[in-house]
Each structure stands twice: as C-alpha cells, then as structure tokens.
Amino acid sequence: MKDDRNTVQAIINCLGGAGNIAAVSNCMTRLRVVVKDEAPVDEQSLKNCDAVLSLLHNRVNAYEIVVGPGKCRRYADLCREMGLGSNPEESMTAGENWQQNKADWDSRQTNSRVKSALKTIGDIFIPLIPGIITAGLCAGFASLISQLVPNYAESKGWALLFNLLSLVNVSFMTYISAWVGYRAAERFGATPILGGMLGLITSLDGINEIAKLLGLYDEAVPLNSVLHVGKGGVLAVITGVLLLSYVEKKIRSRMPDNVDIIFTPLLSLLICAIPYITLFMPFFGYVSSGIVWVFSRLCLSQHILVRALVGFVSATLFLPLVATGMHHGLVALYSVQLEELGYVTLYPALAMAGAGQVGAALAIWRKAKAVGNDHLCKVTAGALPAGLLGVGEPLIYGVTLPLGKPFLTAGLGAGFGGALVMAMEVASTTWGPSGLLGAFVMTAGPNGAVKSVLFYLAGLVVSYICSFVITDLVLDKQELSPASEEKKTQPEPAKTPAIPPSAEQPVRKIHHGEPVSFDSADGSFEYTITDAVGIHARPAGELAALAKGFDCDMTVSANGKTASAASVVELMDLGALQGTRLTVTAKGKDAPAALRAAEEFLKENL
C-alpha cells in the first residue's frame, strides 16, 4: 500500500499537483484523470514513472494513464481518499463538457470529430461495464445449465439457480436504455435522473399505445411498426439526452431561481419527450436495423469463407484501435446487436486480439531469454497472466508495441483465431470478458452453448500458436539483446556532450567544492541541492530518462535511502529538498560518461 501511495503521489506531481486534479475515474486497465490546466502537466515524467505502461492524451485536459488491471482501481481509490476529483461540477468545467471544449478540440486535433465521438460513447458505457459483464456472465451460466442439465426445472436447486441467474441478467438488459440515459446525462451535463427517465420511456408499454394513437403501429406484425417498445435503443437514448442537456441549460438560464427546481426539469423532459418519441426513436430504429442487417450479412453470412474473412480482418485490425483508445466506440455496435439479436457476433472475433498478444509475448520471452535480456523476460512474464485472462493492455504497452514488429505479428496471428470463431458462428451474451474468462459468455449463437464455448477455446489456441509462430519467424533474437531493446523502448537521454570513457580521468572539482573522481568501471560524486523545491517531478523524470540512456547502473543516495536513477518514483521518494547532499554512484561500461552527464544535469537543474 505504501508503494501504491508513493506511485500515486508521483503521478499527481507529474499532473501538476493535487490542486490541478478535477476528476479521477478508472476502467479495466486505465486511470482516467481530468485536469484543470494542461500547462503544468509533465507528460514525459509521467511516462517515465515505473508503474505507467503508456499515456494517452486524446482530449482536452483528459489523460488516460495505463497502469494495468487491479492497479487502476487501487490508484483511483487512493486519489479519492486524498479528496481528489470529488467535485462533479468542477469536472465539467475541466473538459468533461464536449461542447464547451469543441472549439479548442477542433483547433488542436486532426480528424478529431470522429475520434471525439467514439471517446464520448466509450465514456458513457465504461461505468456500465461491471453491470454488462455481470449480466452477460449470468446469461452464459444460465444457458450452460439449460444445455448441460436438460431437466433442471425438475430440480429445485438447479431451477432456483437458473431463475436467479436469469433474473440478474434481465434486471440489466430490460432497463439498459435507462442506465445509458442516466450515464449520458452525466456525460453531457444534463440532470442524470432526467436522462434515466427519458431512456426508460423507451422500454415502457405506453410507447405502443402512443404509436397506435399516431397510426405508427402495425397490429399484425408489431416489429414492423414505425414505432414500438424498444425502437431506436441506445442510439436514440444518447441523441435524446444530448438534446435534453441543451434544452435544460437554455430553460435554466431563463428560469427564476425560486421555481427552478420545479419547472426546469418538468419542462425539459416534456419538451424533449415529444421529438424523442416521434422522431428519434423511429429514425434510430431504422439505423439500428440497418446496422444489424449489415452485420448479419457479414458475420452470419451463409458462406463460411465470407465469415472467416470478416473474422480475420476484424481481429487483425482490433489491436490498433486498442492502442489508440478508440475501441470503446465499438460498444455502440455491441449494444445494438445485443438489443436486436439477443447476442453479439462481432465481439468473439475481436477477443482473439488478446490471445494474439499472448502468443507473441511467449515468442518474445523465449528469444529474450536466449540473449540474456532478463529485464524483458521479467516484464513479459509479469504481463502474461493478465493477458491469459483477457486483459491485453499490459502486454500491448509494456511488451509488443514498444518493440514494433511483435505488435503487428500479434494482430496477424489473432486474425486466424478470429477467422475460426467467426466461421463457426460463435456469439457472446455480452462483451468485456475475453481470454480464458471469456469462455463463460461465449454461449450464444446457432451452435448451442457447449459447442460455442469449445469453438471459442479452439480460436484462442489457434491465436496463441499462429502469433507465436509468426513472431518467432519475423523477430530476430538479436533485436532483443539488452542493448538493442533499451534503444527501442527507452526515451532518448538528455542532450549532453558525449565524453568517451577512458581508463584514467582527472579528479576535478564541481562548483560546491566536492571532488569528483571517475575510473573506467565505476565512480561516484557528491552534490548539494540548491534548487528551492528540490527533486520534484520534472527533474526526476529528466534524470531518469538520462540514466536509462547509459549502459550502467546509476544510483542516487540521500537521507539514508538509495534510489535507482532510472526510477522516477524512487528518486522522488528520497525526499531530497534544498540543501540535501546527494551521492551519485555508477557502475558499468558507461559509468564515466554517465557520471559526467549527471553532474552537468544536476548543476543546470538542481
């Protein structure tokens, strides 16, 4: 816990301090932070933090810090314990309102409208993921019971379990439009309960009565009606809540304060309900039907080769979407399929991308071990368990993406697994779980629950093997030697005049009068900090980047502690303030040059 607190404190310092944090949340692998001002944020130092696998900055004032599963929730909880990001109104002013930041966003980004829209959809659904996964798992287990225990209804125990699992699933799926409406209102700045009410309208029987009064209901074939219960689904809800946020703000700006709480919500909901029911629901109903029609023709094509090709392409291209953070935009497609069909056909193929990462990582580990790259072996082995369980981002950002080629070979290998599961018409009851854990939700589709799970597991094995083989063939083990890997994965060292090591270097004085002695193998020097702040985020990050650029082990000692010069967190944990005496030590091939570079850096920065 102490290490987590130190890491969180280092991250906060890199983000400009506690006073600059407006909102904190997390998803499965990322700590999501909204800051008030980007100016004091030190992105390079943040990337150099040991716990940070990658940093995404795709929206104004918003940062996604990839730290891995488990850690992201612990870090978010620690931030809340510190009282950070607890003011939702402040969050809105710090970049959460997409319309307030539209002009700034358009001026800073290229092709930003599509990307911003996808990110917005992701933001709406991310808080719903625990419910989505829980409902899907319950549906999957219930489906397995119905197939593996055909007479379950005759057994009180099995019948009770089946009905309990079904009840949990229905509790989410029946009212998914309400959950989406509530969250969309939070995202767009409307009153959340009003957004939930607008979304809930979609699922109520009164919609059919209104459709009959307006002549929009087909008594013979209700599903062919222009308007009926559920028409438009989550796409209509998101658009309706966007309108609601605009109308509510306009009314509130003109409503007297003493009657605001009474009339603003009433007028806002009534005004928006009319176009929502008569226009948005029918229009997006046809849009949803069109989306499902396209996916049905591709993912559920009668031609097995068409399905296999779609699965291969989908799984191969999914990793670039994950790396750029755009994969969350796909949840709208999943939701439409789930609402219209009762299952999802695209997700099982995309889930193979994580398996491709595992296969590529195994090939990397084997070759790294052969060339003695213990660091890369340790990083890979640490990320593999999460990858096997379906959390691939630690492998993406910690292993394959920094190396380049394996990121591509992992996608290619995953394509073969995607082709298999799509060809075999595997379908899922939800989205979210993947890897080995994903087997419990791959219970839908025309083949039945058991066959669907077995085909999914076969797809994982195919992805593991193909990614391993392709990566093993393409990747030269010499590229993974410690020196080569360091050049590819570490930041460039600070620009310092190159001083070749020599067997004998003269003893010289630095400006504080301490002697600095260097030899060819190791050496050390002492330095007293004159900077008023001491070692904080920026110089710690720059010194860590500098240290990583040399082939030697460099440490910094102060206050009875010793820190690796390559670790931002350890450097900041020294508590080195103005007047603190540092001892810098280096051992290894580049020790003399590293010490001279460190000396110059300290004189200029601390």
Q: Which helix (H) or strand (E) holds 393?
A: helix 393-395
Active site residues: 27
Q: Domain locations in the chain?
A: 2-109, 174-296, 304-487, 508-605
- Give the Cα separation of 444 and 453 in Å (integer): 9
> Maximum distance among all alpha carbons in the chain?
97
H-type alpha helices, 54-205:
71-81, 88-91, 102-108, 112-125, 129-148, 156-173, 176-188, 192-201
Contact 220, 237 (CB under 8 A): no
Give rounded-to-5 percent helix, strand, coil for the chain: 65, 10, 25
Tokens 């009959």 appear where? 212
DSSP-derived 3-state class of residue 344: strand
Confidence of residue 503 (pLDDT cuts 50, 70, 90): very low
Q: 2-109: what fold? A: Gyrase A; domain 2 (3.30.1360)
Global pTM exceeds 0.95 = no
Q: Say yes or no: domain 508-605 is CATH 3.30.1340.10.
A: yes
Burial of residue 27 (number of CB atoms within 10 Å: 0-12, 13-18, 19+): buried
- Give the Cα separation of 97 and 156 in Å (integer): 51
DSSP-derived 3-state class of residue 63: strand
Token pair of 180 as six digits: 């989406």
Q: What is the pLDDT of residue 486?
A: 46
* CA dihedral sign, ordered 568, 569, 575, 581: negative
| Range from 77-81, 82-86, 144-148, 415-419 that averages highest in pLDDT | 415-419
Burial of residue 413 (number of CB atoms within 10 Å: 0-12, 13-18, 19+): buried
H-type alpha helices, 475-577:
482-489, 537-548, 568-573
At 149-207, the pLDDT tens digits run 878 888 888 899 989 988 988 888 778 888 889 988 988 888 899 999 999 998 888 99
- Give the Cα separation of 7 and 11 in Å (integer): 6
Token pair of 48 as six digits: 């150099």
Contact 207, 227 (CB under 8 A): yes
Averaged confidence pLDDT in the chain: 78
DSSP-derived 3-state class of residue 524: strand
**Higher model confidence: residue 2 or residue 529?**
529
At 4-33, the pLDDT tens digits run 788 888 888 888 888 888 888 877 677 888
Tokens 């591509």 appear where? 408
Contact 183, 124 (CB under 8 A): yes
